[in-house]
Amino acid sequence: MNELFKDLIDTDKVVIYMDDILIFTETLEEHRDLVHKVLQCLQDNDLFLKPEKCLFEQPSVEFLGLIVSHNTLTMDPVKVAGITEWPAPHNVKDVQSFVGFGNFYRHFV
């Protein structure tokens, strides 16, 4: 996927992680232009989207467990609850599980 969208990714306005595509722009016109280019690239390569999983022209979106919006990146409240409600560890494996989960969100703590 990254190779197919290399030119768009190089604009720093398109992010692809596995089968998720995130497009973020300053203006609605630019956003629509990039969406069109992404859709055209998908069509040219016989790739398809599930319409029910698509969101367009959103002021904020959940992406990889984070809430991405204009100039902000925050933890998804569901993930915050997962950390605050995490049961007390009883052994080394429990501690390792918590550290692994929490490590991804270390920038927010």
Determine the average pLDDT of the residues in 37-66: 92
The pLDDT tens digits for 10-43 are 988 999 998 899 998 989 999 999 999 999 999 9
Looking up tokens 């409240």 gives: 77
pTM over 0.85: no
Distance CA 56, CA 93 (A): 41
Provide the residue ranges of all domains of the chain, joining segments of one domain with +.
1-58, 70-109
Distance CA 14, CA 16 (A): 7
